[in-house]
Structure 1
């Protein structure tokens, strides 16, 4: 697979019937290795290792309905009470991050109402904060660090 602009990790790949599969720590199984999946797996580990997001709060390939059509989010990170916090749209490295890519992710987020949106293609990523009340967004310099809730 192509080298990404994300930290490497010790991935597990297996071959079956001339097809490659990569182990997904979120789904706890091997999944078909596509270029987009390669990006997703690296980005999941990046979020866990650098930004301290717990894997227990992440869901890959979550389903939702948009205009009565079934859609799948690449990755959703939830807060400690189960509300969507970040929607992540993963693309192949050869897919440039354009306004159309952001609009696709924003359509999914219209349903989920997460306050953050990230688009990544393995070479770069962009994060923005969404203000759903004013229907505006602001690009951030970096991804917010996960802050564990304080138990009282």
Structure 2
């Protein structure tokens, strides 16, 4: 768990935080959103790939990843959100940076990470690009008709931490 000044810390989620993450998902995104049972299953399946940013007992951001079954060296960043009251304060940037920094230790088999993003969400696209993600594709109907998404991919370099 990385602890910063002001009580802000980054690290794997604990079970008692699952409901808060599900609430943040609903607050952060328009439908479709992941339901609480998805987060419970992610916690059970990939506990080292499900991280939160917290200040004291408040969840300010989260990210959840899952490995690809067909290509175990690739990781999907399935959801990443920052609470409205924490946006623009570097919370999401810090969470993503710390997760990517620790990823070679947590999951040394991972060589690439990918995600999708709303092409109109310029702050998110800037954040991802600052962390080495590049646009590698686009799908006009990712979640169904009219849900346009960009696909972004980053290479994960093995690091000595």
Q: Do both share a fold (TM > 0.5)?
A: no
Which bin holds the TM-score, normalised by the shorter protein?
Answer: 0.3 to 0.5
TM-score (norm 1): 0.37
Output the TM-score relative to the length of structure 2: 0.35
Higher strand share: 1
